[in-house]
Amino acid sequence: MPVSTSTDESHALTIFTVEGELTFEEQMNALKAFYSGDPTANVLWDFRLMKGNRVSSQELEELFNFIKANRAKRLQGKTALVATSDLDFGLSRVSEAYSQIRQLPWEMKAFRTMDEALEWIDRDN
């Protein structure tokens, strides 16, 4: 499975680590599992080891529809997206824009390094 999940309770943080190709179904399953439990306030998606095909813009919109429908389960926090390739960083920036358009109740931001992302998550918490 290309998506593994870990939790850092001290930072109210769930980390989704992607290795290899990430399909729409796998990303949706990870989100469904996250929202079916007790979601942490902060989330980090680590796309540094992602390879192969990416989700389409239509699939990305479906993911955000699901997230918005479940936003009452997570009313605060931050979501960091870490991507080192130009393609994945660009897609992460598109996700930032989607989160603003969808008026999600938390911030979403793209980063090139894990250190920058973790520093941002810890800031003001």
Between residues 57 and 42, which one has the greater pLDDT?
42
Q: Does domain 3-122 have CATH number 3.40.50.150?
A: no
Between residues 7 and 2, which one has the greater pLDDT?
7
Q: How many helices (H) and strands (E) does the chain have?
A: 4, 5
Give the model confidence (pLDDT) of 23-41 as tens digits: 999 999 999 999 999 999 9
pLDDT of amino acid 103 = 87
Residue that has been written with the tokens 């290309």 in this structure:
2
Domain extents for the chain? 3-122
List phi, psi (to 5°) of 57: -65, -35
Residue that has been written with the tokens 């306030």 in this structure:
41
